[in-house]
C-alpha cells in the first residue's frame, strides 16, 4: 500500500501543540480524511500551552555544540564551571559542591526520572543540567517541570533549565573544557494562550454504539514511531471503512497535545487533547455510546503489545492467538497513552504499542523509521482490522467479560485482612456474570479501580493496575523491611492525592511499617465500599 502520511514533508518535522507547524498538519489531516470518505470531518479547537525552542548551544574553548533544550526549560545565557554527575542506586553522586555550576549527567535509566534529577540538582544549587544519552548517536527531548508529582491541575516550569546532547558531543565537550567553564545559551518561547486542534473523522454505522480509533499528530523531532505510524494506520483503516457496511459508528481522532501542552505547566503535561475531547463528551452525556476506544502509539516492531482494559481480555486473546500480539504483551492500560484518558472516565480502552522496544529511540533523532521491520504499517493495519472484526462479532454483553483474575497478582508479603478479602473478591468477579448489567458494571469499575500510582522519587516506580496503591505499598513495605532509608511516598497520579508519606531511618523503621499497614488496610476498605456500591447499583432486578 502506498503511504498516505509517512514521507510527506508537512508531517516529518517537529510538531508542537499550538504551533504554526501543527496548524499545517491539522489542515492536511482534515483534507486527507475528507478524501477518505469521512461522513463528518472537523477540527476541534482547544486551549494549549505552547513551548518552542528557538536556539540552543553550548560553547567551550574552540568548540560550539548544538544542543536540544528540554521542554519546559526557560531561556538562559550563563557561563559557569561544569560538574560531572553520576548515580548511586537511587541517589545522585557528587564529587564536589554543585552550587553555581552546570551539572553534566547521563539520562537516568527511566527517562522520566530526568525531572527528579533536575529537581535534586536545583535544590543543591546547580545552575543548569546537561543530559547526555547512554546510547551513541542519539539526542532526545524529555519534558521536565518543577513539580515532584503528576497533577492535572497545577505545575511550574523547571527551576533550572536543562538541555540534551549526544554521547559523542559529551566526549568533545569533556576534552575541550577539561573541568573548566562552559557557556550555555538557550532561547525558548512559552505561549500560554495558544490553540491546538483535535482532528475528528466520523464514519456512520447502523447502530448508535461507537468505536473510537485514535493516534496523535504532535511529536518531538521526526516522531515516526511516536506517532506517525499511528496516523498512517488510521488513514489505512479509513480506506477500509470507506467501502464496507458498518455496524458501529467509527470515530477516527488524531489528538493534539499528547506529548505536551496542558495549560499552566500542569505536571501531567501529556494526553491533554484526549482529556479535553472527553470533557466535551461528558458535557454531552453520551460517553455510554462508546463501546471501545482503540489507540495506536509508540509502534516500533512486531508482534505488538496491548495495554488494555482487563474486561476486554477475551477480545485481545484472539489477537494473541493470531500472533498479532505477543503472548506476554498484555498489561493494564498505561497512563503514558491517550487510551488512559478514556479509562479515567470509565470507557473501556486499549493501546497497541511496542513502547519497551522503542525506548532506545524514544523521542530521539533516530525515531525516523530506519530500524522498522518490513511491512510494519501493513501488519498494524491487519491487527486493527482483525480487532474490529472481533468487536463486530459480539453484542455488548459478550464484548466484556467479568473475569479479571489474569490481572490480579499476589502481594509480595503478608497483608492486612481487608486487603486479602478485597483481592479474593476481585478474583471472583466472574461469579457476577448474569447478575449485573455488564456494561454499567464495567464502566463504574473501570473509573474507580483502574488507576496509576507513583512513589515520586528517582529510581522509583509508576504502577498502573487494578488497585495500584495496594501493590505499590506492598513493594515499599518489602523495601523498608530490607533497610530502605529516606523518604517514601505513595500518590495517586492525577488525583491530587498523597496516600502515604514518611521518612525512614533505623529509628523509625518499625513504626513506619506499622503505619504503612494501617494505610493499606484503609485503602482496601475504601475499595471494598466501592465494589459493594458498584454491584448494588448494577444488579439486574
CATH number of the domain at 122, please.
Answer: 3.50.30.30
Q: Among candidates 374, 341, 377, which has minimal Cα distance to 494?
A: 341
Whole-model pTM?
0.94
Verify that 437 and 290 share a domain, yes or no: no
pLDDT at 172 (0 to 100): 92
Q: Are 137 and 361 in contact (CB under 8 A)?
A: no
Q: Please indicate, yes or no, if residue 4 is contained in any of the structural domains.
A: no
* Residue 123 reports pLDDT greater than 90: yes
Verify that 219 and 340 share a domain, yes or no: yes
Verify that 183 and 237 share a domain, yes or no: no
Verify that 164 and 225 share a domain, yes or no: no
Q: Please indicate, yes or no, if residue 3 is contained in any of the structural domains.
A: no
Can you say how many angstroms the Cα of residue 439 is from the centroid of all Cα atoms in its chain?
26
Verify that 154 and 179 share a domain, yes or no: yes
Q: Are 396 and 312 in contact (CB under 8 A)?
A: no
pLDDT at 409 (0 to 100): 85
Q: Please indicate, yes or no, if residue 297 is contained in any of the structural domains.
A: yes
**What range defines the domain where residue 354 resides?**
20-51+198-399
**pLDDT, tens only, 418-468:** 999 999 999 999 999 889 999 999 999 999 999 998 887 777 788 889 999
**pLDDT, tens only, 137-166:** 999 999 999 988 888 988 999 999 999 999
* Residue 10 reports pLDDT greater than 90: yes
Q: Report the pLDDT averaged over residues 285-299.
A: 95
Q: Please indicate, yes or no, if residue 1 is contained in any of the structural domains.
A: no
Verify that 232 and 380 share a domain, yes or no: yes
- Give the chain's mean pLDDT: 92
End position of a domain, from candidates 364, 399, 434: 399
Query: How far is the C-alpha of 292 from the C-alpha of 290, rounded, in Å?
Result: 6
Q: Among candidates 82, 98, 67, which has minimal Cα distance to 181?
A: 82
Verify that 203 and 142 share a domain, yes or no: no
Query: How far is the C-alpha of 70 from the C-alpha of 61, rounded, in Å?
Result: 24
Verify that 318 and 439 share a domain, yes or no: no
* pLDDT band, residue 1 (cuts 50/70/90): low
Q: Three-state secondary structure along 423-439?
A: HHHHHCHHHHCCCECHH
Verify that 176 and 161 share a domain, yes or no: yes
Q: Please indicate, yes or no, if residue 446 is contained in any of the structural domains.
A: yes
Q: Among candidates 15, 4, 182, which has minimal Cα distance to 84?
A: 182
Query: How far is the C-alpha of 257 from the C-alpha of 18, rounded, in Å?
Result: 8
**pLDDT, tens only, 95-111:** 889 999 999 999 998 99
Verify that 450 and 502 share a domain, yes or no: yes
Q: Please indicate, yes or no, if residue 516 is contained in any of the structural domains.
A: yes
**pLDDT, tens only, 61-72:** 889 999 999 999
Q: Please indicate, yes or no, if residue 6 is contained in any of the structural domains.
A: no
pLDDT at 222 (0 to 100): 92
* Residue 502 reports pLDDT greater than 90: no
Q: Which range has the worst mean pLDDT, 255-264, 275-284, 441-450, 494-503? A: 494-503
Number of domains in the chain: 3
End position of a domain, from candidates 160, 191, 222: 191
* Residue 383 reports pLDDT greater than 90: yes
Q: Which range has the worst mean pLDDT, 25-29, 209-213, 379-383, 403-407? A: 403-407
Query: How far is the C-alpha of 228 from the C-alpha of 7, rounded, in Å?
Result: 10
CATH number of the domain at 299, please.
Answer: 3.40.630.10
Q: Please indicate, yes or no, if residue 186 is contained in any of the structural domains.
A: yes
Verify that 224 and 303 share a domain, yes or no: yes
Verify that 228 and 363 share a domain, yes or no: yes
pLDDT at 311 (0 to 100): 95
Query: How far is the C-alpha of 415 from the C-alpha of 470, rounded, in Å?
Result: 9
End position of a domain, from candidates 372, 399, 426: 399
Is it true that the peptide bond before 72 is cis, omega within 30 degrees of 0? yes
Strands ordered across the beta sheet of 486-492: 462-466, 450-454, 486-492, 497-504
**pLDDT, tens only, 186-213:** 999 999 999 999 999 999 987 788 999 9
Amino acid at each position: 500500500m502506498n503511504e498516505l502520511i509517512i514521507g510527506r514533508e508537512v508531517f516529518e518535522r517537529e510538531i508542537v501543540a499550538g504551533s504554526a507547524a501543527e496548524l499545517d498538519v491539522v489542515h492536511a489531516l482534515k483534507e486527507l480524511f475528507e478524501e477518505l470518505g469521512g461522513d463528518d470531518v472537523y477540527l476541534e479547537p482547544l486551549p494549549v500551552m505552547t513551548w518552542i525552542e528557538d536556539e540552543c548551544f553550548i560553547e567551550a574553548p574552540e568548540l560550539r555544540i548544538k544542543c536540544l533544550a528540554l521542554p519546559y526549560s526557560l531561556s538562559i545565557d550563563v557561563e559557569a564551571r561544569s560538574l560531572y554527575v553520576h548515580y548511586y542506586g537511587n541517589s545522585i553522586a557528587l564529587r564536589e559542591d554543585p552550587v553555581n555550576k552546570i551539572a553534566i549527567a547521563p539520562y537516568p535509566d527511566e527517562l522520566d526520572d530526568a525531572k527528579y534529577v533536575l529537581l535534586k540538582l536545583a535544590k543543591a544549587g546547580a545552575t543548569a543540567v546537561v543530559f547526555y544519552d547512554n546510547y551513541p548517536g542519539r539526542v532526545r527531548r524529555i519534558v521536565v517541570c518543577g513539580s515532584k508529582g503528576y497533577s492535572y491541575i497545577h505545575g511550574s516550569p523547571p527551576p533550572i533549565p536543562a538541555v540534551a546532547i549526544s554521547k559523542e558531543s559529551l566526549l568533545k565537550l569533556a576534552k575541550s573544557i577539561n573541568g573548566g567553564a562552559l557557556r550555555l545559551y538557550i532561547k525558548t518561547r512559552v505561549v500560554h494562550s495558544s490553540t491546538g486542534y483535535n482532528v475528528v473523522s466520523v464514519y456512520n454505522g447502523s447502530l448508535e454504539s461507537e468505536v473510537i480509533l485514535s493516534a496523535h499528530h504532535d511529536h518531538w523531532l521526526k516522531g515516526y514511531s511516536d506517532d506517525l505510524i499511528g496516523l498512517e494506520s488510521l488513514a489505512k483503516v479509513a480506506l477500509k471503512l470507506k467501502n464496507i457496511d458498518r455496524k458501529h459508528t467509527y470515530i477516527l481522532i488524531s489528538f493534539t497535545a499528547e506529548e505536551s501542552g496542558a495549560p499552566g505547566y500542569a505536571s501531567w503535561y501529556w494526553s491533554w487533547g484526549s482529556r479535553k475531547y472527553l470533557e466535551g463528551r461528558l458535557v454531552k452525556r453520551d460517553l455510554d455510546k462508546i463501546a471501545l476506544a482503540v489507540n495506536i502509539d509508540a509502534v516500533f516492531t512486531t508482534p505488538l503489545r496491548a495495554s488494555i482494559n482487563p474486561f476486554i481480555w477475551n477480545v485481545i486473546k484472539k489477537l494473541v492467538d493470531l500472533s498479532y500480539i505477543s503472548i506476554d504483551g498484555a498489561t493494564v492500560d498505561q497512563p503514558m497513552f491517550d487510551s488512559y484518558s478514556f479509562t479515567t472516565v470509565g470507557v473501556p480502552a486499549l493501546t497497541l504499542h511496542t513502547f519497551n522496544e522503542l525506548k532506545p529511540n524514544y523521542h530521539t533523532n533516530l525515531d525516523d523509521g530506519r530500524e522498522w521491520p518490513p511491512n510494519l504499517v501493513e501488519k498494524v493495519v491487519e491487527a486493527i482490522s482483525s480487532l474490529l472484526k472481533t468487536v463486530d462479532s459480539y453484542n455488548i454483553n459478550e464484548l466484556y467479560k467479568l473475569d479479571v483474575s489474569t490481572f490480579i497478582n499476589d502481594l509480595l508479603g503478608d497483608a492486612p485482612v481487608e486487603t486479602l478479602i478485597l483481592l479474593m473478591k476481585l478474583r471472583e468477579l466472574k461469579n457476577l456474570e448474569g447478575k449485573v448489567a455488564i456494561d454499567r458494571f464495567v464502566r463504574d469499575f473501570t473509573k474507580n479501580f483502574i488507576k496509576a500510582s507513583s512513589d515520586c522519587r528517582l529510581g522509583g516506580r509508576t504502577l498502573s493496575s487494578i488497585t495500584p496503591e495496594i501493590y505499590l505499598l506492598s513493594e515499599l513495605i518489602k523495601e523498608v523491611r530490607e533497610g530502605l532509608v529516606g523518604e517514601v511516598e505513595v500518590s495517586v497520579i492525577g488525583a491530587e492525592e498523597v496516600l502515604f508519606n514518611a521518612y525512614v531511618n533505623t529509628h523509625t523503621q518499625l513504626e513506619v511499617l506499622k503505619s504503612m499497614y494501617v494505610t493499606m488496610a484503609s485503602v482496601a476498605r475504601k475499595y471494598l465500599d466501592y465494589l459493594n456500591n458498584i454491584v448494588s447499583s448494577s444488579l439486574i432486578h
